[in-house]
Structure 1
Amino acid sequence: MSNLTLTDDIEEEDEEFPLTVTIPCGIIIVCLIFFAVFGNLMTIAAFIRDKGLRNVYNMYLINLAVTDLLLGLVSMPFYAVYTLKSHSWPFGYHFCKTYMVIDFALCLESILTIIVISLDRLLLLRYGPHYSHKETPKVAVLKLALTWIVAVSLYSPAIIGWDLWTGEDSVEQGDCDVQFANDLAFTASTAVVEFAIPFIAIGVLNFLIYCKIRKRSKISPVAKDALPSVTTAVDAKNRKAARFLAMLVVVFGITWAPYTVSTIIISFCDSCVDVNLYEAFNWLLWSKASLNPFLYAYNSARFAKNFQNMLACCKKGKVTDTTSGTATTNSKP
Structure 2
Amino acid sequence: MTATTALRWLFLMSVIILTIGGNILVCLAVGLSRRLWRRANCFVVSLAVADLLLGVLVLPVSATLELRNMKWPFGGTLCNIYISMDVMLCTCSILTLLAISVNRYLAISSPLSHSQSVTPQRVTLAIISIWVLSLAVAFSPIHLGWNTADYRVQNLDWEFGDEGTDNGRYCQFEWNNNYVLIYAFGSFYLPLLVMCGMYLCIFKVAREQVRRIRATTPSFVRSATAAIAREHKATVTLAAVLGAFIMCWFPYFSYFTCMGVKEKTTPPNTLHSVVLWLGYLNSTLNPILYPAFNRDFRRAYGELLRCRAPSHRTLLTHVTLHKRFTFFNLSMVSQNSNKNMATVMIDSERNLSREERHCPDNSR
Q: What TM-score comes out, normalization by structure 1 length?
A: 0.84
Label 1:286 to 1:65 Cα distance change in 2 as closer, same or farther (>3 A): same
- What does 1:117-128 align with in structure 2 at a 5 Å threshold? 117-128=100-111
User: For the aligned residues, what is the CA RMSD?
Assistant: 2.5
Please say if 1:166 is aligned against 2:160.
Answer: no
CA distance in 1, matches of 2:179, 2:63: 27
C-alpha displacement at 1:222, in angstroms? 5.9
Secondary structure, in 3 states, of the residue corresponding to 1:76? helix
Gaps of 5+ in 1: 1-17, 314-318
- Percent identity between the two aligned chains: 23
Secondary structure, in 3 states, of the residue corresponding to 1:88? coil
C-alpha displacement at 1:270, in angstroms? 4.6
CA distance in 1, matches of 2:35, 2:176: 49
Please say if 1:176 is aligned against 2:171.
Answer: yes
Moved more, 273-282 or 27-36: 273-282
User: What is residue 327 of structure 2 aligned with on the other side?
Assistant: none
Label 1:323 to 1:188 Cα distance change in 2 as closer, same or farther (>3 A): closer
Please say if 1:294 is aligned against 2:288.
Answer: yes
C-alpha displacement at 1:202, in angstroms? 0.7
Label 1:264 to 1:164 Cα distance change in 2 as closer, same or farther (>3 A): closer
CA distance in 1, matches of 2:110, 2:259: 45
Label 1:304 to 1:165 Cα distance change in 2 as closer, same or farther (>3 A): same
Contact 1:265 1:272 in 2 (8 A): no
Contact 1:64 1:113 in 2 (8 A): yes
Counterpart AA for 1:282:
L
Contact 1:224 1:231 in 2 (8 A): no
User: What is residue 45 of structure 2 aligned with on the other side?
Assistant: 62
Question: What number of residue pairs does the alignment pair up?
Answer: 305
Gaps of 5+ in 2: 159-163, 319-364
CA distance in 2, matches of 1:139, 1:302: 25
Please say if 1:223 is aligned against 2:229.
Answer: no
Counterpart AA for 2:220:
L
Secondary structure, in 3 states, of the residue corresponding to 1:26? helix
User: What is residue 10 of structure 1 aligned with on the other side?
Assistant: none
User: What is residue 46 of structure 1 aligned with on the other side?
Assistant: 29
Please say if 1:96 is aligned against 2:90.
Answer: no
Label 1:36 to 1:327 Cα distance change in 2 as closer, same or farther (>3 A): farther
Please say if 1:208 is aligned against 2:211.
Answer: no
Moved more, 24-33 or 267-276: 267-276
| Structure (1 or 2) with the larger CA radius of gyration | 2
Contact 2:12 2:63 in 1 (8 A): yes
User: What is residue 56 of structure 2 aligned with on the other side?
Assistant: 73
CA distance in 2, matches of 1:209, 1:29: 37
Contact 1:322 1:328 in 2 (8 A): no
Secondary structure, in 3 states, of the residue corresponding to 1:40? helix
Please say if 1:276 is aligned against 2:270.
Answer: yes
Secondary structure, in 3 states, of the residue corresponding to 1:166? coil
Moved more, 67-76 or 45-54: 45-54
- What does 1:1-333 align with in structure 2 at a 5 Å threshold? 19-162=2-145, 166-167=151-152, 169=154, 173-174=164-165, 175-178=170-173, 180-183=174-177, 185-219=178-212, 223-267=216-260, 268=262, 270=264, 275-313=269-307, 320=309, 324-325=313-314
Contact 1:96 1:176 in 2 (8 A): yes
Contact 1:55 1:137 in 2 (8 A): no
CA distance in 2, matches of 1:204, 1:222: 28
